[in-house]
């Protein structure tokens, strides 16, 4: 692989980690804002759709 391909893979890996840091916070946020429980599922569904 050339240098550009390696840099893109590293960038996407770091981006994936950063995007997934929000997942542990989501249940606490839903509880703190007193949002209905089913909304957590919708928020979790929205995360991969945002990257698509």
pLDDT tens-place string over residues 4-40: 999 999 999 998 888 777 667 778 888 888 988 888 8
As given in the structure block, the two tokens for residue 13 are 């890996």
pLDDT of residue 27: 80
pLDDT, position 52: 63
Radius of gyration of the CA atoms of the chain, in A: 15
Is pLDDT above 70 for 46? yes
Contact 52, 19 (CB under 8 A): no
Q: Are 26 and 43 in contact (CB under 8 A)?
A: yes
Residue 44 pLDDT > 90: no
Q: Given this model, what pLDDT does residue 7 score?
A: 96
3-class SS of residue 16: helix
Q: How far apart are CA 40 and CA 45, in angstroms?
A: 9
Domain boundaries, the chain: 21-52
Contact yes or no for 30/37 (Cβ under 8 A): yes
The model's pTM: 0.49
């Amino acid at each position: 692989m050339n240098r550009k391909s390696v840099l893109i893979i590293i960038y996407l890996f770091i981006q994936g980690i950063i995007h997934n840091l929000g997942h542990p916070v989501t249940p606490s946020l839903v509880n703190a804002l007193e949002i209905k429980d089913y909304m957590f599922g919708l928020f979790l569904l929205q995360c991969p759709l945002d990257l698509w």
